[in-house]
Structure 1
Amino acid sequence: MSRGSQFVAGICGLCAEACDACGTECGQHEAEHCQSCAEACRQCAEECRQLAGAAV
């Protein structure tokens, strides 16, 4: 990001997709550690989306 790479937005967008998928999968399980993982993934996805938007 600091060098202004043309790939940053795409990489951050892909990271957000992966985190969303992980959060969805983990969110389907009732175990506390799965719910904690799902929340962490959702937060990561949001951060990645923000970075992707900043890179554009």
Structure 2
Amino acid sequence: MLATKFEDVDDLVRYCQKVCNACADECSQHDHKHCQDCAEACRKCAEACESYLA
């Protein structure tokens, strides 16, 4: 993410939210505990991004 160029912080946060949602969607499809833990962490991060942007 640091190698890309963003106009402002909001664009970076939107990108983070997009990546976290995609990761949560993928990891939630797997039954392994570490995948479920990752999905939960990504959902929380995406929610934090949403709160920041509100």
**TM-score normalized by structure 2?**
0.80
The structure with more helix, counted as a fraction of residues:
1
Q: Provide the rounded CA distance (Å) in 2 between the counterparts of 1:10 and 1:49.
A: 12
Q: After TM superposition, which residue ranges in structure 1, 4 or more long, deviate above 3 angstroms?
A: none
Between the aligned residues of both structures, percent identity stands at: 46
Greater relative contact order: 1 or 2 (C-alpha under 8 angstroms, separation 6 or more)?
A: 1
Letter in 1 for 2:11: G
Q: What RMSD, in angstroms, separates the aligned Cα atoms of the two structures?
A: 1.2
**TM-score normalized by structure 1?**
0.77
For structure 1, list consecutive stretches of 5 or more residues without a partner in the other structure.
1-5
